[in-house]
């Protein structure tokens, strides 16, 4: 029986990338569609990935002094209106509650698209003195944004995320926090998700509504499109003035606080899929794989096979997340099923292996197999998991670099998009008109002004006037 018949084949990413992506999220049992347009059901396997992301990020936040809180999911319209730029930026995406039972509400309630206004109201009530600062809060929750076009993990009406909200005594402290959290995200993406990112500042056109400045990590997908994978915002004292968040400093003078906000979401799972996976299904970095090792017994009805497999599972459970599949499905079916689910290592064990005191380890990322002694299996599995984690980052970095080009004029810019779509490094004059024209003419937007600036040319790629910054551009999700 062929692999295609045992586990339904997925569409090739070369033939139809969007369908390939949809096939994976469905056939790897990550999500199911709900009866509400644009809302997804996170199935146990998909939610387990999110739990691993959440757990490891949460540990990082707490290690740097942040505390978890929870805010209401409803925001009164009157409260939302306090910060003009913020409400205008979110207005098209807001879902409103207009009735409570049969009664029409006098003040409409917004279902939170983000929680800045709620945090600001709370901080205005609890911050009075310099001794109350800083406040380093984080919230794990869901938010609702009424998107016109949706895709699982990448853009849905409701999604899970974390949003950090902090207040500080000085502008310098707020800026330090903003960059520290961006660096934390970048480190997490590279070390845990094996996803290389570019760190930089957003242009004023692309910054968060109400922010003084927005910083981003941008990653590149298989198809050459960019994914904004996390953002960190410095609000300055704009929100503080709108919500009257003041404190008495050491000289007994009233000062406004300086605020930050930063977040990542289940969009990271979409990024994982589009950075690592292949035409056989999901590929997961070991650190976020719900099952790191699957044991598949071969000829399991033979005497001693399941007993030995259980022994190995008990041994491996001390060092990794392991599962034994002793169902009555054929070994070939199991191989394909766990390949689809992206399990990093498969252990194959049959009567002959047991005779020889060995097992076969198969890598999901490369398909390579190695025979190991049963006495060494725990050490070999740990070493292989580490190797896969590093190899996935190296492979993704190599792919990103191969799809990163330079352009000195619009002819080169457009040619890159036709021949090697990906990140484009090009100089910019700082004028929003040029930024808009590039988007209108090519579909590529400014992704960020990287911290690591390069000199591509002296002039703007669009208008030819003196350049101010090197910008990374690209078509994006």
Whichever domain contains 147, its CATH number is 3.30.930.10
Neighbours of 322 (CB within 10 A): 21
Residue 260 and residue 299 in one domain: no
Residue 221 and residue 307 in one domain: no
Model confidence, pTM: 0.95
23 is a domain residue = yes
Q: Which H or E element spans position 261?
A: strand 258-265
Q: Which H or E element spans position 190?
A: helix 171-191
366 is a domain residue = yes
Q: Which H or E element spans position 387?
A: helix 377-402
Per-residue pLDDT of the chain in tens (477 residues, 90 and over written 9): 444 444 568 999 999 999 999 999 999 999 999 999 999 999 999 999 999 999 999 999 999 999 999 999 999 999 988 877 776 777 788 999 999 999 999 999 999 999 999 999 999 999 999 999 999 999 999 999 998 889 999 999 999 999 999 999 999 999 999 999 999 999 999 999 999 999 999 999 999 988 999 999 999 999 999 999 999 999 999 999 999 999 999 999 999 999 999 999 999 999 999 999 999 999 999 999 999 999 999 998 899 999 999 999 999 999 999 999 999 999 999 999 999 999 999 999 999 999 999 999 999 999 999 999 999 999 999 999 999 999 999 999 999 999 999 999 999 999 999 999 999 999 999 999 999 999 999 999 999 999 999 999 999 999 999 999 999 999 999
Residue 140 and residue 86 in one domain: yes
Q: What pLDDT, on a 0 to 100 scale, did the predictor assign at position 89? A: 72
Exposed/middle/buried for residue 67 (C-beta within 10 Å: 0-12, 13-18, 19+): exposed
Residue 298 and residue 263 in one domain: no
Q: DSSP letter for 461, please.
A: T
Q: What pLDDT, on a 0 to 100 scale, did the predictor assign at position 148? A: 87
Pairing verdict, β 445-450 and 198-201: antiparallel
Residue 322 and residue 224 in one domain: no
Q: What pLDDT, on a 0 to 100 scale, did the predictor assign at position 4? A: 45
Let me know: does 116 contact 214? Beta carbons within 8 Å.
no
Residue 272 and residue 290 in one domain: no
Residue 224 and residue 299 in one domain: no
Q: How far apart are CA 214 and CA 183, in angstroms?
A: 13
Beta strands in 101-184 (DSSP E): 103-111, 135-144, 158-168
Residue 350 and residue 327 in one domain: yes
Q: What pLDDT, on a 0 to 100 scale, did the predictor assign at position 231? A: 98
Decide which of 356, 387, 418 is a domain's last residue: 387
Q: How far apart are CA 194 and CA 445, in angstroms?
A: 25
Q: How far apart are CA 159 and CA 98, in angstroms?
A: 22
Residue 24 and residue 131 in one domain: yes
301 is a domain residue = yes
Cα 88 to chain center, whole Å? 26
Per DSSP, what are the bridge partners of residue 109?
76, 97
Q: What pLDDT, on a 0 to 100 scale, did the predictor assign at position 8? A: 65
List for the chain the helix, strand, coil content (%; round to 5).
40, 30, 35
358 is a domain residue = yes
Q: Collapsing DSSP states into helix, strand and coil, what is residue 331?
A: helix
Let me know: does 57 contact 163? Beta carbons within 8 Å.
no
Decide which of 387, 421, 447 is a domain's last residue: 387
Cα 132 to chain center, whole Å? 32
Residue 173 and residue 66 in one domain: yes
Structural domain range at position 444:
404-474
Decide which of 231, 258, 276 is a domain's last residue: 276
281 is a domain residue = no
Q: How far apart are CA 329 and CA 313, in angstroms?
A: 19
Residue 308 and residue 454 in one domain: no
3 is a domain residue = no
Domain count, the chain: 3
Residue 74 and residue 107 in one domain: yes
CATH number, position 379 = 3.40.50.800
CATH number, position 410 = 3.30.110.30
7 is a domain residue = no
397 is a domain residue = no
């Amino acid at each position: 029986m062929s692999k295609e018949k045992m586990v339904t084949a997925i569409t090739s990413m070369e033939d139809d990338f969007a369908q390939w992506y949809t096939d994976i999220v469905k056939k790897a049992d990550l999500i199911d569609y709900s009866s509400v347009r644009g809302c997804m059901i996170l199935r146990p396997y998909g939610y387990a990935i999110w739990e691993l992301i959440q757990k490891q990020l949460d540990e990082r936040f707490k290690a740097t002094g942040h505390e978890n809180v929870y805010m209401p999911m409803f925001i009164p319209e009157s409260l939302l209106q306090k910060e003009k730029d913020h409400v205008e930026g979110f207005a098209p995406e807001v879902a409103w509650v207009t009735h409570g039972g049969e009664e029409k509400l006098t003040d409409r309630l917004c279902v939170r698209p983000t929680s800045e206004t709620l945090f600001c109201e709370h901080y205005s009530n609890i911050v009075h003195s310099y001794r109350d600062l800083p406040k380093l809060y984080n919230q794990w929750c869901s938010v609702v944004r009424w998107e016109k076009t949706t895709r699982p993990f990448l853009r849905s009406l409701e999604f899970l995320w974390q949003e950090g909200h902090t207040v500080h005594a000085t502008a310098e402290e707020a800026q330090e926090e903003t960059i520290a959290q961006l660096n934390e995200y970048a480190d997490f993406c590279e070390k845990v998700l094996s996803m290389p990112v570019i760190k930089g500042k957003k242009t004023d056109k692309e910054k968060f509504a109400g922010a003084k400045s927005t910083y981003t990590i941008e990653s590149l997908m298989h198809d050459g499109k960019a994914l904004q994978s996390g953002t960190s915002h410095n609000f300055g004292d704009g929100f503080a003035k709108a919500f009257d968040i003041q404190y008495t400093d050491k000289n007994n003078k009233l000062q406004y606080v300086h605020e930050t906000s930063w977040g990542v979401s289940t969009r990271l799972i979409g990024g994982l899929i589009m950075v690592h996976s292949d035409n056989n299904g999901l590929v997961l970095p070991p650190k976020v794989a719900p099952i790191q090792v699957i044991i598949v017994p071969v000829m399991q009805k033979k005497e001693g096979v399941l007993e030995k497999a259980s022994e190995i599972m008990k041994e491996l459970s001390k060092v990794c997340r392991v599962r034994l599949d002793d169902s009555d499905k054929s070994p070939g079916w199991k191989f394909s099923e766990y390949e689809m689910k992206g399990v990093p290592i498969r252990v194959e064990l049959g009567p002959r292996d047991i005779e020889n005191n060995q097992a076969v380890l198969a890598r999901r990322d490369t398909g390579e197999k190695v025979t190991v002694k049963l006495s060494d299996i725990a050490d070999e599995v740990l070493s292989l998991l580490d190797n896969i984690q590093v190899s996935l980052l190296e492979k993704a970095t190599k792919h990103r670099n191969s799809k990163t080009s330079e352009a000195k004029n619009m002819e080169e810019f457009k040619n890159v998009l036709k021949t090697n779509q990906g990140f484009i490094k090009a100089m910019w004059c700082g004028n929003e008109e040029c930024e808009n024209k590039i988007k209108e003419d090519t579909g590529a937007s400014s992704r960020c002004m990287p911290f690591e600036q390069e000199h591509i040319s002296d002039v703007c790629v669009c208008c030819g006037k003196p350049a101010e910054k090197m910008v990374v551009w690209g078509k994006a999700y």
